[in-house]
Amino acid sequence: MAFTTVDKPSAHFDTKIYAGSSSAVSVSGIGFKPDVVITKDRTEAHAFGVYDSNRGIKKWLKWSSAQSQNNAQDVTNTIDASLTSFNSDGFTIATMSSDPIGNKNGNQFVSWMWKMNGGTTTSNGAGSNGASIASVYQANTTAGQSIVTYDGTGTAGTIKHGLSVTPKLIMIKNLVEGREWQVGHFGTTHTSDPETDGLLLTASPVADESTYFNDTAPTSTVFSVGTHLQANTADSSSKYVAYCFAETKGYSKIGTYTGNGNANGAFAFCGFRPRMVFLTRYSGGNGHWIIKDSARTETVKDGSAGIGPRANPTEQGLYPSNGIAENTNAPDMDFYANGFKLRDTDGDTNTADAIYIYYAVADVPLVGTNGTIALAQ
């Protein structure tokens, strides 16, 4: 039985729900200072808001299916103050009038938060540590997650990620133009050449394009980029951010499963009870990206009263590929002590013989570092 390397996942990742307000909202009780915060309005259709401590406060990006809405935001937002501080126990977000992706009076929100290195960054020059492109990164090597910012060069090259292990999931965003998010899902068996199979954060995610990651797998030191505008160009659109995630035993799992088209659906072994699962369909047709988590109150399908958080099956779904309000009839998914199981035949999660890719983060590991059954943290 596999041991975890992280006994307390909530020291590195957590998800919290909160109510919007006509004034600033402080989300607390996290237990760490977050370096990446993603927010979503559960009540209305708005894009997801993405913030990180490498770029700094009041600078937000959007997850959205429309390229025109995938904003370029590497300057202080003067219309809406958005996230105003990364706190020791959470974050503060101002009221947002023109585009309430993180705070609106009367609306309900959810946030997902990752700890990197507390805002302390490291610069790596071009030609150092096997990297041909200069970067600034901060890494949480215990949990296997990092933020990297860099200026494009227009020439295919390599960038240091700071993890000391090979990342299996990389998400890149152009910070100057409203271009689509570029996603790389590496090191799995869903394709013979994942280095060319870039993914987009859309309802048609698979894009076979060698210029995304230069047809080169990441290593324990660097990841590669080609010359695509979404990852590396030398013109005025030359600033980028990348979020890198490695697989960490007992804390995170980056893998695949094959759907069976049955309500007694496919099971994905993670080695822990998930706190959050982020997935999309890879083969056999298009599908939306979906986020499931155990923080949002569940509602049974007949519309009766909620039965409380962490209940199975989890029905609430949020979709980065379209930004709609929370779907309380999203495909069912059970969170088990050792992974997750599909309980629906929906094409977004469980079509027979279709391949799905996912990133899951732990709530509680199945087995602790000392080899005993882990307890809730």
pLDDT of residue 297: 61
pLDDT of residue 69: 47
102-124: per-residue pLDDT in tens? 899 999 999 999 999 999 999 99
pLDDT of residue 321: 77
The verdict on pTM exceeding 0.95 is no
Please tell me the distance from the alpha carbon of residue 332 to that of residue 289, in angstroms, as a whole number: 15
Mean pLDDT per 10-residue segment, the chain (377 residues): 75 95 94 96 90 91 62 52 90 81 91 97 97 98 97 96 97 86 76 63 70 91 93 82 96 95 93 94 83 74 43 75 82 91 90 93 76 49
Joined tokens for residue 287: 């599908």
pLDDT of residue 80: 57
174-224: per-residue pLDDT in tens? 888 878 888 988 856 555 565 556 788 776 666 667 888 998 999 999 999
Joined tokens for residue 8: 């307390």
Please tell me the distance from the alpha carbon of residue 83 to that of residue 362, in angstroms, as a whole number: 26
**DSSP bridge pairs for 49:** 39, 62
Please tell me the distance from the alpha carbon of residue 369 to that of residue 338, in angstroms, as a whole number: 15
Domain ranges of the chain: 9-114, 122-245, 252-365
Please tell me the distance from the alpha carbon of residue 257 to that of residue 216, in angstroms, as a whole number: 24
